[in-house]
Structure 1
Amino acid sequence: MSHVSMTDASAMDAAARRLAQALDALSAAVARKREAERGGDSVQAQLHALGTDRARLASELDHTAAEARRLADTNREVARRIDVAMGTIKTLLDEHDR
């Protein structure tokens, strides 16, 4: 007949506790890993969003710079036409005063 002594029972209880602790530690490690992966996904999503925003802002900047150049060209043309008109008016006034 097999007979389990108190020492054997204590050793088995201790082994069972160590196994339970190891399983708890493993479960906690898996939970941390999953959380880290979710956090990594979040960081990746944020990086993607930042990249998208950067591309949109760069496009808007290019558009705004082109518009600024067009407005500067228009401003120069208007100033040239005003100078021509002022010259014409001055010439007409000078001829009228004679």
Structure 2
Amino acid sequence: MTESSAVEIEIATRRLMAALDALESAVERRRDADRDENELAARIQALGADRSRLADELDGALMKSRKLERTNREISDRLDSAIVTIRSVLDTGEDG
């Protein structure tokens, strides 16, 4: 083997090592990207579950609010009726 052949082999070996290092770096970046993608997918799934839970809670709160409004109106109507009755009784008592 001549000296120029040895130099060429050394140069080729260095290029091969650099290419392997670059490939290893690319594989590592891809693994990191896949891991990040999986984490993002898990977060999106968790957000979807949270959204569903919050929507259910909101529906429940709206139903409770509507029920409270109806009850409030009923109580208000009963109080108005009681006030009218009390005034009527008082007016009758004053006239008598």
- TM-score bin (small chain): over 0.9
Aligned match of 1:25: 22
Deviation at 1:31, TM superposition (A): 0.2
Q: Which amino acid aligns with 2:94?
A: D
**How many residue pairs align between the two structures?**
95
Question: Of the candidates 18, 36, 40, which is equivalent to residue 43 of structure 1?
Answer: 40
Runs of 4+ aligned residues of structure 1 deviating over 6 Å after TM superposition are none
2: distance between equivalents of 1:24 and 1:97? 106
CA distance in 1, matches of 2:44, 2:74: 45
- RMSD over aligned CA atoms reads 0.5
Give the superposition deviation at 1:49.
Answer: 1.1
Q: What is the alpha-carbon distance in structure 1 between the residues aligned to residue 6 and residue 90 of structure 2?
A: 123
Task: Tell me, in whole angstroms, the C-alpha distance in 2 between the residues paired with 1:89 and 1:49.
Answer: 59
Give, as a single letter, the amino acid of the residue that structure 2 aligns with 1:14: I
Give me the TM-score of the superposition, normalised by structure 2. Answer: 0.97
Distance 1:94 1:7 in 2: 126
Query: Which of the numbers 8, 13, 16 marks the counterpart of 1:11?
Result: 8
- Structure 2 runs not aligned, ≥5 long: none
